[in-house]
Amino acid sequence: MVFVTGEIGINHNGDVEIAKQLIDSAKAAGCDAVKFQKRTVEKVYSKEVLDLPRESPWGVTTREQKLGLEFEKKEYDIIDEFCKLIDIEWYASAWDLDSQIFLRQYDLKHNKVASAMLTYFKLLNTIAEEKKYTFISTGMSTMEQIRDAVNIFKKHDCPFELQHSVSTYPMKTEDANLKCIQTLRETFDCNVGYSGHESSGYLISDIAVALGATSIERHITLDRAMYGSDQSASLEISGLFRQVKDIRQIDSILGDGVKRVLESEIPIIKKLRIES
């Protein structure tokens, strides 16, 4: 069955109650998990970048904006308890070493390598050492860069799955290039999913499943008009319900590939089949 993740990321806008609403909606829609993004702001961004002027709900500098979007232990404790309460998995993509170490205090089943982190080998080694099943996004990456990342996970005997992705927000439909799912699967002999950033509805992710994607990750939001860089590339809740329903139906329609005579076909055989 396709593993479906509702990517909350930073679409909670620093509000744990918004995060809980999104988690609850993802569970109701039939997602297998929700995902967040964890950063140590002062380490991910330089002082020069953080000092730049930037208007946001939290202030007038980039630092205030980044800190306003970030959850810390208090919020993740609440998220962890809430996910346990309603029985849905959560995990996160760490954007620095400290954040990956931070996540170890929670009993998470999965890790995630964001496309932006694919060439950060020290982080990849730290993740792979945990030997948790890891989703590796491949946006803005060459095949050689992907191969280098894959080799790290193989070296540590860490189970992984690549995810075809295009790192534009939102992604243009003509840039989807879903045949890369097959290319990645054949090249690296592994499961391949799809992490989507399109604003064009459900079709692209549906086709990805039909092409054999073993996981789908879609950004989700309460309202695409909310503040934030990822909101416009996200599914609202009604769209999430539709997307998950499509995925489950396609999964069922594809079947297992074993040719067999169905019980429901036997009366038709008796009625129509001519034996020579």
Domains of the chain: 3-272 (3.20.20.70)
**Total number of residues shown for the chain:** 276
pLDDT of 31-63, one tens digit each?
Answer: 999 999 999 999 999 999 999 999 999 999 999
Question: Where do the H-state alpha helices sit in 118-236?
Answer: 121-128, 143-155, 180-188, 203-210
Rounded to 5°, the CA angle 20-207-193 comes to 60
Is the pLDDT assigned to residue 206 strictly greater than 90?
Answer: yes
Task: Return mean pLDDT, the chain.
Answer: 98
Confidence band, pLDDT 50/70/90 cuts, at residue 258: very high
Is the pLDDT assigned to residue 276 strictly greater than 90?
Answer: no
DSSP 172: P
CA distance 151 to 76: 31
Task: Calculate mean pLDDT across residues 199-209.
Answer: 94
Q: In sequence order, what E strands does the chain have?
A: 3-9, 33-38, 53-56, 59-61, 89-94, 110-113, 133-137, 160-165, 192-196, 215-219
C-alpha distance from residue 126 to each of 153, 154, 162 (Å): 10, 13, 18
